[in-house]
């Protein structure tokens, strides 16, 4: 058995049929209780692009739920705001009719102390990055094309919905790989990244800058085969979740499942769990145990 800190999930949209974009306080609490039993000790509920009004409502719901948690729930550590300030050319499943330019004035329409991570397109920035950094909010480049990551703390789900590697241009993924100061989110579910790309990432990127995420959808750990997500119908065929047009909408796996997948491929290292703590300046004295097959066996006090 390996003893490591509890897993922290900093990018997921829901699970067990619960969608953070429309969940009630009780549903958020129930999700945090269920995911805790899988070895997840902390979560950053992630909101996909939506109307300003609904995002305001759901930020308040998550904040309220955080005040009502008990010791047997994965602690809500903050909200990850993904979308709204992204590039239409790399929108993925996000609905571009809700997009806003990344300005401090537009962020003020959503601003709340519980927002701890913002994904945006740095090439479109009109002062928002400096504003967020001054507030201590993590700035992550995602759903974007730009290669200048000099003001970014991290990159959202590397290679997915971003400028990739081009031998004549500087694009997001390439910059993220060669900049040792930038953290990268990585979805290791076997669908979002090929094994060859995983091999490339693990060879090039300093391992203390890799953050494992799931980007899980509400259908993860549920019996759902169809959901309405980001203003679109999403269909799950038992392997991948896609829109009608075939766009991958997110993962059907939670982070403990992904750790097992990476472990079976020989890519997982306990250090990856530590990285997210370092990224957010978190500490804990609680540990979980992981067996030789990288199954999460439960939370140990």
CA-CA distance, 300 to 298, in Å (whole number)?
6
Looking up residue 29, the CATH number of its domain turns out to be 3.20.20.140
Total number of domains in the chain? 1
Q: Residue 292 is part of which domain span?
A: 2-300
Stretch 57-72: mean pLDDT, rounded? 97
- Among the listed residues 221, 287, 295, 227, the one whose alpha carbon sits nearest the alpha carbon of residue 258: 295
The confidence score (pLDDT) of residue 68 equals 98
Helix (H, G, I), strand (E, B) or coil at 256: helix
C-alpha angle 86-90-92 in degrees, rounded to nearest 5: 95
* Nearest C-alpha neighbor of 39 from the set 78, 74, 68: 74
pLDDT of residue 5: 84
Those residues whose C-beta lies under 8 Å from the C-beta of residue 168, and which sit 6 or more positions away, are none
pLDDT at 132 over 80: yes
Instruction: Please write the tens of the pLDDT for every residue from 135-183.
Output: 999 999 999 999 999 999 999 999 999 998 888 888 999 999 999 999 9
> Is 221 within 8 Å of 15 (Cβ atoms)?
yes
In this prediction, residue 2 has a pLDDT band, given cuts at 50, 70 and 90, of low
What DSSP character marks residue 6?
P
What is the predicted pLDDT for the residue at 301?
41
Whether the model clears a pTM of 0.85, i.e. scores above it, the answer is yes
Are 254 and 189 within 8 A, CB to CB? no
Backbone angles phi, psi at 61, to 5 degrees: -60, -50
51-to-21, 37, 55, 205, 216 alpha-carbon distances in Å: 10, 33, 6, 36, 21
pLDDT value, residue 291: 62
In whole numbers, what is the pLDDT of the chain averaged over residues?
94
**DSSP code for 69:** -
């Amino acid at each position: 058995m390996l003893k490591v800190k509890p897993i922290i999930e900093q990018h997921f949209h829901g699970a067990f049929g619960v969608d953070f974009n429309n969940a009630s306080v009780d549903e958020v609490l129930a999700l945090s209780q269920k995911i805790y039993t899988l070895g997840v000790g902390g979560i950053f509920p992630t909101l996909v692009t939506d109307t300003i009004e609904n995002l305001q409502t759901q930020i308040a719901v998550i904040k309220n739920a955080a005040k009502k948690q008990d010791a047997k729930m994965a602690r809500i550590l903050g909200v990850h705001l993904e979308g709204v300030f992204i590039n239409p050319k790399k929108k993925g499943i996000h609905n571009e009719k809700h997009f806003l330019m990344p300005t401090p004035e537009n962020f003020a329409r959503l601003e709340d102390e519980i927002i701890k991570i913002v994904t945006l397109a740095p090439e479109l920035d009109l002062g928002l990055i400096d504003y967020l950094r001054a507030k201590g909010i993590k700035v992550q480049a995602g759903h974007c094309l730009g290669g200048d990551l000099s003001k970014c703390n991290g990159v959202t789900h590397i290679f997915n919905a971003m400028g990739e590697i081009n031998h004549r241009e500087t694009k997001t993924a390439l910059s993220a790989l060669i900049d040792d100061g930038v953290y990268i989110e990585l979805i290791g579910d076997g669908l979002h990244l090929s094994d060859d790309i995983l091999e490339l990432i693990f060879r090039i990127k300093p391992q203390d800058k890799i953050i494992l995420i799931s980007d899980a959808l509400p259908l993860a750990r549920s019996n759902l085969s169809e959901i309405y997500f980001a203003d679109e119908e999403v269909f799950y065929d038992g392997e991948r979740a896609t829109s009608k047009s075939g766009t991958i909408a997110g993962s059907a796996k939670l982070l403990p499942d992904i750790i097992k997948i990476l472990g079976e491929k020989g890519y997982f290292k306990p250090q990856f769990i530590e990285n997210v703590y370092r990224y957010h300046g978190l500490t804990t004295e609680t540990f979980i145990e992981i067996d030789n097959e990288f199954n999460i066996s439960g939370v140990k006090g």
